[in-house]
Amino acid sequence: MGKDECKTMLDALNKVTACYRHLVIALGSTSDSQNLREELKKTRKKAQELAVANRTKLTALLKDKTTSKDDRAEYERLWVLFTSSMELLEVDMKRSLELGQDFPLKVPTRHFIQTGMTGSTTTVAARAMSVQNMKYDADSNIDTTDLKELQAEITQVGQMMEEMQMKVQVAPWAVEAKQEAGAELKSTLSIGNSSVGVISICEEEPKDEMDEGGDDNGMITCVAGFMFIVIVVIAGVLGYFVVGG
Amino acid sequence: MQEPKSGVKGADQKLNITTIPHIITGQDILAWIVTKMKVSTEEAQAFGTMLVAFGYIYPLQNHKKLVLVPDSTQYRFQTPYFWPAQKWPAEDTDYAIYLAKRNIRKKGMLEPYEQQHYNNFHKWMNYKWDFIVMQATEQYKASKERKKPDRVVLDCQERAYWIVQRPPRRTHSAMDTGLDRLIDPNAEEILTFDVVRRTNIFLTQALMRSAVKSSVSLTAFVKYVTTHHVHDPFLTSPVPSNPWITDSDDFWQLNSRNVEIPTKLSVDRWALSFWELISDPRGRADFKLFLKKEHSGENMAFYEAAEEMRWGAATAIPEKSQFIFNTFLKPGAPRWINIDGRTMGLTVKGLDCPHRYVLDAAQTHIFLLMKKDTFYRYLKSPVYKDMQKRALVPAPHNFTDVQLEANAKNRNPGVSPIIQWQQQETEKAAAAAAARPIDVKAMLATNKLDRK
């Protein structure tokens, strides 16, 4: 159905936007590198594809005058989601252009800010592109060539947004949200359980975090220990049979 | 600043399990600023605090206190994305997403000011709420993909950014957003022919203007300040106390329109110039009292009527001009004002097609008359001298902290403007009634003019 397709595509766009923001935050810091620039480029391209697909689908759905009132309300809600995602994307793209220009890669001494982040952003980009491992195959002057493309893409996105607003008459403030306050807590309860050790941020909050981390740790070690014992027992039984038989 | 040899020495932050590099201590930063910029320690301290307050460096322990403490407190550099920039103001949508993420991380236990903002956003940005929740969960999941130390740093960074941009109570942040303007002040202005032409015209006109010599204007300015500095609440603290600071409105009560006995300061101010006397409502009332004693109230009445016509509604102008003509300007009018023939002729001719400013010439003449003659007689009169003797000199307040808190709690809203307006209307009606020409026959009827 049109609605479900739209929803999945919007979820994908949302995911890519979040990951793109994550990558842009890393620009200019010590976790910046050639790879990061390439990841940014790939994520951006994916985001654009998704955006165009979403846009065509949603404009088609919204232009259809024969939809029922509930359907129309739902499409308007999806439209608001889409435009908000695009706004975030546009701002992030503009910022990445500026930051990319301020922190070039090809100079003899790189002046990256020592922010304390040393890891790589491969996993985030992999999540954005929905692949297992990222492949890096760009050439060495990606930062300069990419920036020119980025400028063109930013103008493209700007034009797309303007077109969208002209074509589709949706009043964003009339949309009612489905989630109530605190909805994000319910959706991430399952995630909390699977985290291995919640980290302690700064000296102020070590006690809370460590207790929860300890609980999680304890539970998982219990489960692991149990599994281990079960496997050992089975191995022992089988071995006994092999030896006995 | 980050050079391994000549920069600030970096160290490692050791948390319970993880080690995060790139920590700098306050005293190292201070020492580096002193040597690099060749300034004194106090200046370096101020500069360092500005760096922290703007958000280029953030403290790790006391994260709400945005100052540079010159000891072993730890700081870290902020990532360029979170540097303050006029081009990229911190949007409410982003703040809402951040609060939602924090909600997830803290499992619903936000700080009170954060909770307030959160509820506010849920109310006012409800149409975007789905998006905010989705984005927050996605960003949370994305951040989980990174290694532990990086996650810690990311959280610290974002939290520091939002403390700078949306400071909680009693945090001093240097952020100062101006108005939301439609034109971008940072955008380059394209020099077209029209822009240059208009700039040229403006500059030639400015050159043609006759300018007052600065020696003259500055002397006038100095004179104004020396005479008026006692009356300015910024330069001398008002007695009894500044209501904006101590929350006690005695000052306003003592200087209100219909107070019985004015303060000495006001009374002195009336003597400075006729304009000051007229502008103060209490002073104007006193002057009118003096004029009543002298039976020359028609000048002031005309002045007030002319002011009313000038500032009043356009629809009332014909009616008011008729009334003024009948009362003040007609030969044989009950309250005839004594202006010279030329002005009278001009005014009467102008009243044929009355507009807002027909009475300007007459009003100026009357004003100068009052200023040059009546005003000086007023200052020498027993009315004024009596007022000077009776005027109050209120004692300055000396509130303790407890009393200040009590004052703040017991602030009263003051007199309602509706009631004030009603009082003014009744006063005006009474004055109009008193000013009506005395009907001799009515007075005889009530036996007031009894000669016997």
For B112-169, write each residue's pLDDT tens digit.
Answer: 888 888 888 888 888 888 889 989 998 898 888 888 888 888 888 899 999 988 888 7
Cβ-defined contact of A191 to B141 (cutoff 8 Å): yes
- Nearest of B269, B287, B307 to residue B376 by alpha carbon: B287
Give me the DSSP letters along A146-175.
HHHHHHHHHHHHHHHHHHHHHH----GGG-
- CB of B43 closer than 8 Å to CB of B66: no
User: Could you tell me if A9 lies within 8 Å of chain B, comparing CB atoms?
Assistant: no
The answer to whether the Cβ–Cβ distance between A99 and B80 falls below 8 Å is: yes
For B136, nearest residue in chain A (alpha carbons)? A184
> How far is B192 from chain A, CA to nearest CA, in Å?
24
* A55 token code pair: 């846009």
Q: Residue A116: which of B61, B139, B153 has the nearest Cβ?
A: B153
Question: Complex ipTM, two decimals?
Answer: 0.73
pLDDT at A205: 35
Å between A174 CA and nearest CA of chain B: 7
Confidence band of A225 (pLDDT split at 50, 70, 90): low
Q: Which residues in chain A have their CB less than 8 angstroms from residue B137's CB?
A: 184, 187-188
A207 touches chain B (CB under 8 A): no
Residue A197 binned pLDDT confidence (cut-offs 50, 70, 90):
very low
Note the pLDDT of residue A3: 78
Q: Name beta bridge partners: A160.
A: none
> How is A32-100 classified by DSSP, letter by letter?
--HHHHHHHHHHHHHHHHHHHHHHHHHHHHHH-TTS-HHHHHHHHHHHHHHHHHHHHHHHHHHHHHHHH
Please, what sign has the CA dihedral across residues B32, B34, B35, B37?
positive
Q: How many CB atoms lie within 10 A of CB B120?
A: 12
The pLDDT value recorded for residue A199 is 37
Inter-chain contact B15–A17, Cβ cutoff 8 Å? no
Which residues, at least 6 apart from A115, have a Cβ–Cβ distance to it below 8 Å? A29, A30, A31, B22, B76, B77, B78, B79, B153, B157
The pair of three-digit structure tokens given for residue A56, joined into one six-digit string: 């065509």
> Do residues B400 and B309 make contact, with C-beta atoms less than 8 angstroms apart?
no
Looking at residue B273, its pLDDT comes to 92
Chain B residue closest in CA terms to A194: B144
pLDDT band at A195 (very low <50, low <70, confident <90, very high): very low
Whether A72 contacts chain B with CB within 8 A: no
Burial of A234 (0-12, 13-18, 19+ CB in 10 A): exposed
Which positions 114-133 of A are in contact with B (Cβ < 8 Å)?
114-119, 121, 123-124, 126-128
Least Cα distance to A198 among B293, B143, B449 occurs for B143
Interface test with A, best of B134, B157, B158 (most A CBs within 10 A): B134
B11 bridge partner residues? B23
The pLDDT of residue A223: 62
- Phi, psi dihedral angles at B84 (to 5 degrees): -70, 135
Is residue A194 very low, low, confident or very high in pLDDT (cuts 50, 70, 90)?
very low
Looking at residue A196, its pLDDT comes to 32
**Which positions in chain B touch A123 (Cβ < 8 Å)?**
145-146
Nearest C-alpha of chain B: how many angstroms from A135?
A: 17
The parts of chain B modelled with pLDDT lower than 50 are 3-6
Model pLDDT, residue B108:
79
The Cα of A16 is separated from the nearest Cα of chain B by a number of Å equal to 9
> Is A190 at the interface with chain B, CB within 8 A?
no
A35 vs B: CB within 8 A: no
Predicted pLDDT of residue A129: 76
**Chain pair A-B, CB pairs under 8 angstroms:** 186
Tell me what the mean pLDDT of segment A107-127 comes to: 72
The CA distance from A15 to A9, in Å, is 10
From the list B202, B176, B14, the residue with the least C-alpha distance to A200 is: B14
HSE of B393, CA atoms in CB hemisphere, 13 A: 3
Instruction: Flag whether residue A188 sits within 8 Å of chain B, measured between CB atoms.
Output: yes
Query: Would you state the structure tokens that stand for residue A14, as one six-digit string?
Result: 């949302």
**Which residues, other chains included, contact B210 with Cβ-Cβ below 8 Å and sequence gap of 6+?**
none
Q: Which of A25, A173, A184 sits opposite B127 (nearest CB)?
A: A173
C-alpha distance from A233 to closest chain B C-alpha (Å): 34
Which stretch of DSSP H or E encloses residue B24? strand B19-25
* pLDDT tens readout for residues A15-73: 999 989 988 888 877 766 777 888 888 888 888 888 888 888 888 887 777 777 788 88
Cα B175–chain centre separation: 20
Whether residues B108 and A103 touch (CB distance < 8 A) is answered with no
* Structure-block tokens of residue B235: 């330069």
Instruction: Note the pLDDT of residue B269.
Output: 93
Which residue out of A7, A98, A115, A129 would a mutagenesis test of the B interface target, given it has the greatest number of B Cβ atoms within 10 Å? A115
For chain A, the straight-line distance linking the first and the last C-alpha, in angstroms and rounded, comes to 59
Locate tokens 């908000």: which residue?
A84
Task: Give chain A's length.
Answer: 245
Contact A126 B127 (CB under 8 A): no
Query: Does pTM surpass 0.80?
Result: no
Instruction: Residue B347: name the closest of B368, B328, B332, B333 by CA.
Output: B328
More confident residue, A175 or B430: B430
Residue A191: which pLDDT band, with cuts at 50, 70 and 90?
A: very low
Instruction: Compute and round to an integer the Cα radius of gyration of chain B.
Output: 35
Report the pLDDT value the prediction gives residue B448, as an integer from 0 to 100: 59
Closest partner CB to A124 (pick from B10, B145, B157): B145
The beta-carbon neighbor of A115 closest among B88, B153, B159 is: B153
